């Protein structure tokens, strides 16, 4: 079943270009120029705001999508963890689209949050991997992420396939609300169709990452930094690493570093900087220099030009292909997953069945 891979997680990481490519083709129109959810009854001109609720990795997919919905479609988005949302009993404005993201579709807190929204939100949409799950069945609209069965407890391909569906929804919303032109939509969709090829390139960094992960495995604490839509990817990288390697890791927004976490930096704390060459690149580089000035060991994940601009003082670099800003979070998820995987393998932990964790959290 592992098709020659040592772990399900390795197989599921490697499958991403294929499953994501198939999912892109499933959702984009035959001519490649449009994306519509009209058949599912979703019309983004009917909503004034979005509330997204999920747990764990699915929550980080929602945090990423907030940047997309707000920047592309100019729709305000609130994102919350299901276990907080449900007990907070927040007021719900009319014309709210509620989106619940869950790989399993059975997460107890997410399901309870969905039930809280029944009769309050204008529409309940779920983004799930299991179409016959409780969350899918209880939604007005359920969109499958089409990742295929995910066995490893650490979510990998489900995350990138969740991001794919959320990016398509944000593009559809932006187009329907007149925020982007037909041509701009076409360009974004062409980039999305190109993404599986770039993901294959990113997977090619596996050997480099394996070698440096043997060093990361000696660390007690590791920080991940990112700005903009890369901030949730920093959070996801930290979650993935702690979940399977049991190394303490935290993700921070790069700009937040100097408000506390920089006190942690010394030569024993590797700092992983997720820095595609987007509009915020220069700011991230200056945060990185603050880390290096305090003796921190920086692992920079960027493209070839980004590595050149960052200079020679970084401890290690992982080079990814250039990528349009919108899709950077999906591509940069791959090295984050590979870092967690190879570090866990180097430590000899149980990658597919980490201690104390279950694939589906059906208790509160
Ligand atoms: O099935 P769900 O997507 O609702 O699960 C949510 C979380 O339990 C899940 O993403 C968890 O954080 C993963 N083990 C992370 O790798």
What is the mean pLDDT for each group of 10 consecutive residues in the chain (364 residues)?
A: 94 98 96 92 97 98 98 98 96 97 97 98 98 98 97 95 98 98 97 98 98 97 97 98 97 94 92 95 92 94 96 95 97 98 96 86 82
pLDDT of 176? 97
Rounded to an integer, what distance in angstroms lies between the CA atom of residue 86 and that of residue 107? 13
pLDDT of 359? 85
Start-to-end CA span in the chain (Å):
31
Identify the three-state secondary structure at position 14.
helix
Q: Ligand 1 in contact with 354 (CB < 6 A)? A: no
pLDDT of 353? 86
Ligand 1 atom 7: residue of nearest CA: 56
Whether 359 is a known active-site residue: answer yes
- Probe target for ligand 1 pocket from 8, 155, 165, 239, with the most ligand atoms within 8 Å of CB: 155
Burial category of 346 from C-beta neighbours within 10 Å (exposed 0-12, middle 13-18, buried 19 and up): middle
pLDDT of 78? 98
Identify the three-state secondary structure at position 155.
coil
Element (H, E) at 78: strand 77-81
Rounded to the nearest 5°, which phi and psi values hold at 165?
-65, -40
Identify the three-state secondary structure at position 125.
strand
Burial category of 225 from C-beta neighbours within 10 Å (exposed 0-12, middle 13-18, buried 19 and up): buried
Rounded to the nearest 5°, which phi and psi values hold at 154?
-75, 120
Dig out the tokens for 283 from the structure.
């700011």
pLDDT of 352? 86
Question: How far, rounded to the nearest angstrom, does the alpha carbon of residue 273 sit from its chain's CA centroid?
Answer: 15
Question: How far, rounded to the nearest angstrom, does the alpha carbon of residue 13 sit from its chain's CA centroid?
Answer: 13
pLDDT of 362? 85
Ligand 1 atom 8: residue of nearest CA: 56
Element (H, E) at 210: helix 206-216
pLDDT of 272? 97
């Amino acid at each position: 079943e592992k098709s020659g891979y040592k772990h399900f997680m390795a197989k599921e990481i490697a499958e991403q270009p294929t499953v994501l490519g198939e999912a892109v083709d499933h959702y984009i129109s035959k001519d490649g120029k449009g994306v519509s959810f009209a058949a599912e009854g979703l019309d983004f001109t009917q909503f004034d705001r979005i509330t997204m609720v999920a747990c764990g990795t699915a929550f980080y997919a929602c945090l990423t999508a907030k940047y997309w919905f707000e920047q592309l479609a100019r729709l305000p988005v609130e994102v919350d963890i299901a276990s907080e949302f449900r007990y907070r009993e927040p007021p719900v404005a009319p014309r709210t689209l509620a989106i619940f993201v869950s790989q399993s579709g059975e997460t107890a807190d997410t399901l309870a949050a969905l039930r809280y929204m029944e009769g309050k939100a204008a529409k309940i949409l779920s983004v799930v991997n299991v179409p016959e799950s409780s969350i899918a069945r209880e939604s007005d609209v359920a969109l499958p992420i089409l990742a295929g069965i995910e066995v490893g407890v650490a979510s990998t391909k489900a995350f990138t396939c969740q991001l794919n569906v959320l990016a398509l929804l944000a593009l559809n919303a932006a187009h329907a609300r007149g925020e982007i032109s037909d041509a701009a939509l076409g360009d974004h969709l062409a980039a999305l169709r190109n993404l599986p090829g770039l993901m294959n390139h990113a997977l090619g960094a596996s050997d480099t990452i394996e070698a440096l992960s043997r060093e990361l495995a000696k660390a007690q604490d590791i920080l991940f930094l990112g700005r903009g839509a890369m901030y949730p990817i920093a959070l996801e990288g930290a979650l993935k690493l702690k979940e399977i390697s049991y190394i303490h890791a935290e993700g921070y927004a790069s700009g937040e570093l100097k408000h506390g976490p920089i006190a942690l930096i010394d030569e024993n704390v590797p700092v992983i900087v997720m820095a595609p060459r987007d509009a915020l690149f220069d700011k991230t580089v200056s945060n990185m220099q603050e880390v290096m000035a305090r003796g921190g060991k920086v692992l920079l994940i960027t493209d070839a030009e980004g590595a050149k601009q960052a200079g020679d003082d970084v401890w290690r670099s992982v080079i990814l292909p250039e990528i349009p800003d919108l899709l950077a979070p999906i591509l940069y998820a791959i090295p984050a997953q590979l870092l967690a995987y190879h570090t866990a393998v180097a430590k000899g932990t149980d990658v597919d069945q980490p201690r104390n964790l279950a694939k589906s959290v059906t208790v509160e």
